[in-house]
Chain A
Amino acid sequence: AQSVTQPDIHITVSEGASLELRCNYSYGATPYLFWYVQSPGQGLQLLLKYFSGDTLVQGIKGFEAEFKRSQSSFNLRKPSVHWSDAAEYFCAVEDSGTYKYIFGTGTRLKVLA
């Protein structure tokens, strides 16, 4: 069965520093992968998605993610973090056939001024 692991529950970075959030997936074929961000008390906003092709995908708010099949990873990166990026980030894989999303447990990002 498909699954998603986000190894880091909490991450703290200073404003202006670079960021990498880890995501590992378990899936038999080429997966459809997504990153979402959730601000407190709000729903999920789609940051970016990977379907096929170029393994480096660009998203909104300056985020990018790299798909590495050999490592079953889809890590989210940002070169310079802003205080407004503080939120919870979820990685998800689409389940083949049902099209439901399987989410990781999330990584809570704290940004220090």
Chain B
Amino acid sequence: DAGVTQSPTHLIKTRGQHVTLRCSPISGHKSVSWYQQVLGQGPQFIFQYYEKEERGRGNFPDRFSARQFPNYSSELNVNALLLGDSALYLCASSFYRGEGQPQHFGDGTRLSIL
């Protein structure tokens, strides 16, 4: 079975632009979370979606938004890009949203802002 897939793998944007990152969870998984990993740091939680509803949001500005589709895939959108948005964006899926559910990560999208 395919794991979590993310696209694109790499992206270069300039300041002020907008970006959309995509994630397909493992088949049967209904919960998707997004994390930002800045170089040299651990991943930081951005959003969690379950059954197409936002269930959690991290300490990120409103420039960051996301949604989950009926097939449980998800998009992360970032507006008005800043240099500090350069990072690896990771998507993780789990079977459902609940205690102890292991999250399975994709290989991420590397976003570089010039």
Contact = CB atoms under 8 A, between A and B. Distances in A.
B41 A105 contact: yes
A32 B42 contact: no
Interface in A21-80: 32, 34, 36, 41-46, 49, 51
Interface residues of B, number: 28
B34 to A, nearest CB: 10
Q: Which label, helix, strand, loop or mixed, suits the secondary structure of the B interface?
A: loop
Contact of B43 (A49, A99, A103): A103
A interface, size bucket: 20 to 34
Contacts of A106: 41-42
A103 B42 contact: yes
B97 A44 contact: no
Given A99-B97, A99-B99, A100-B58, A45 B105 contact: yes
Interface of B: 4, 33, 35, 40-45, 48, 55-56, 58, 90, 92, 97-108, 110
Query: Which 3 A-B pairs have CB atoms at the shortest separation, nearest pair first?
Result: A103-B42, A43-B105, A44-B105
